[in-house]
Amino acid sequence: MNYTQLASQYRDNLLNDVIPFWLKNSPDKEYGGFLTCLDRAGKVFDTDKFVWLQFRQIWCFSMLYNNVEQKQEWLDLAVQGAEFMKEHGSDDAGNFYFSLTREGKPLIHPYNIFSDCFAAMAFAQLYKASGVQEYGDLAVKTFNNILAKQDNPKGKWLKAYPGTRELQGFSLPMILCNLVLELEHLLDKEVIEKTIDHGLHQVMEVFYQDDLGIILENVKPDGSFSDTFDGRLINPGHGLESMWFVMDIAERRKDQALIRKAVDTTINILEYGWDKDFGGILYFMDVKGHPPQQLEWDQKLWWVHVETLISLLKGFLHTGDERCWSWFEKVHKYTWEHFPDPEHGEWFGYLNRRGEVLLPLKGGKWKGCFHVPRGLYQCWKTLEKIEAKYGLNSKF
C-alpha cells in the first residue's frame, strides 16, 4: 500500500464513516448541544452532557469546516452546540462545569481546568469558521482564565490534603502546548511565545526523564521524582500524544534538534509501553514495575493508538527515521484490526488486554467526537505531505 492509498484510507474513514455516524446520532434537536452516550449502533443510552465532549465536538466540526470543506451543515452543528454551551456551560465567573443535564442544568462543579481548555479550543476554531467576534472574545477570555489558574488548576476542589505531598501534573502543560497554537490567530505574539516556552520546558525538561527517555505523569514541585503511586505513574498515551504537539511547535520554530528529541522520545515510550504479549499499547504503567493503582492499567484505548499514529507519521515526515515507519506499520495494523467497527461504523473505544472489545459503546463519559476524527484528519494530511516529500512509494 502506498502513501496515497494510506491517505485515502484515513480520509475515507473520517468523511464516509466516522463523521456521518456523529452527524446522524449525536445532535440534540430538542435542547441543543450533543448527545454523546451512544451504544454500538448509535442509539442514545444516557442523556447527561459532558462538557469536555460538547466542546470537543464543536471544535471538530468547526475544524472540518475550516480545513476540509465549508459545509453549512458542519458549521450549523458547531454553532448550535456553542450557543447551548454559552447559555449553560459555565458559572458566573466563566469557569466551565464538568457535566450538565440534558436540559443544561449543572451536575458537577467546574472542578477541572480541562473543561476551560476545550472551551477555548472550540470557541477559537468556531470564531475562525464563523467570523462571530463573540466566539473569539470568549476564547481569549477563557484562555486568560486558564493562565491565571494554571498553578492551582483544581482550586478549592483539589482532593489532596495541602502540604503533605505536593505534586505537579503533566496534563496541563501538555495541553497548553497544543492549545496555544489553536489560539494563535487570537493572541499577542508575546503571550504565544511565553506560553510555548513554558510548556516546552515542562514537557521536555521537567516531566521528561533523561535516564529513561520517557515521561512521568507527576513530579514534585521542584521536578524531582516522587516514589509514590502517582509519582511512579506512566501514561504512555499522554507522552505519545504530546510528542506531536511538540513536533508542531518545533516545525513552527524550525527547531530540528527538538524534532529529533521528540522522535526519540516517541520511540522510547512506544518500546516501553507496547504490550509484548498481546500487542497494543498499555494504558498505565508503574515506572518501577510495581502494580499500578489503576485497575484498568492493561486496557487498550482508542485515543492512545490514534494519537500514536499521528506522532509516528509526523516524526517520519520531519526526519525520515525508519524507526517511525516501522512502528507506524505495527501500530496501524493493530489499530485497524481492533478498533473500527465495520458493521455499525465509528470505532470501539475500550479493549481488554487481549484486544477483545470490552465496552461496545461508541461514546460515553470520555469518548466522543474528537480523538478519532482529529487523528484520522491528521494522519490523512500528514501522509499527503509524506508523499509530496518522499514520492509515491512506501514500504508498507
- Residue 33, pLDDT above cutoff 70: yes
CA atoms 364, 368, 371, 375: torsion sign: positive
**pLDDT of amino acid 160:** 77
What is the rounded distance in angstroms from the CA atom of residue 339 to the CA atom of residue 353? Answer: 13
What's the fold here for domain 1-26+185-396? Answer: Glycosyltransferase (1.50.10)
What's the fold here for domain 31-159? Answer: Glycosyltransferase (1.50.10)
Q: What are the distances in angstroms from CA 152 to CA 52, 113, 157, 225, 226?
A: 19, 9, 10, 20, 19
How buried is residue 306: exposed, middle or buried, by Cβ count under 10 Å (0-12/13-18/19+)? buried
pLDDT tens for residues 209-218?
Answer: 999 999 999 9
Give the start-to-end residue ranges of the domains of the chain: 1-26+185-396, 31-159
What does residue 49 show for φ and ψ, rounded to 5 degrees? -115, 115
- Residue 394, pLDDT above cutoff 70: no
**pLDDT of amino acid 155:** 72
- The whole-number average pLDDT for the span 76-103 is 97
- Residue 1, pLDDT above cutoff 90: no
Confidence of residue 396 (pLDDT cuts 50, 70, 90): low
**pLDDT of amino acid 151:** 78
**pLDDT of amino acid 332:** 98
What is the rounded distance in angstroms from the CA atom of residue 193 to the CA atom of residue 199? Answer: 10
Locate cell 508575546: which residue? 190
- The whole-number average pLDDT for the span 84-97 is 96
| % of the chain exceeding 70 in pLDDT | 98
pLDDT tens for residues 47-76?
Answer: 999 999 999 999 999 999 999 999 999 999
- Residue 78, pLDDT above cutoff 80: yes
What does residue 226 show for φ and ψ, rounded to 5 degrees? -115, 115
Lookup: cell for 279: 500487542
What is the rounded distance in angstroms from the CA atom of residue 85 to the CA atom of residue 345? Answer: 28
Q: Tell me if domain 1-26+185-396 and domain 31-159 are identical in fold.
A: yes
How buried is residue 368: exposed, middle or buried, by Cβ count under 10 Å (0-12/13-18/19+)? buried
Confidence of residue 112 (pLDDT cuts 50, 70, 90): confident
Please write down the HEC assignment for all residues of the chain.
CCHHHHHHHHHHHHHHHHHHHHHHHCECCCCCCECCEECCCCCEEECCEEHHHHHHHHHHHHHHHHHCCCCHHHHHHHHHHHHHHHHHCECCCCCECCEECCCCCEEECCCCHHHHHHHHHHHHHHHHHHCCHHHHHHHHHHHHHHHHHCCCCCHHHCCCCCCCCCCEECHHHHHHHHHHHHCCCCCCHHHHHHHHHHHHHHHHHHHEECCCCEECCEECCCCCCCCCCCCCEECHHHHHHHHHHHHHHHHHHCCHHHHHHHHHHHHHHHHHHECCCCCCECCCEECCCCCCCCCCCCCEEHHHHHHHHHHHHHHHHHHCCHHHHHHHHHHHHHHHHHCECCCCCCECCEECCCCCEEECCCECCCCCCCHHHHHHHHHHHHHHHHHHHHCCCCCC
**pLDDT of amino acid 387:** 96
- Residue 395, pLDDT above cutoff 80: no
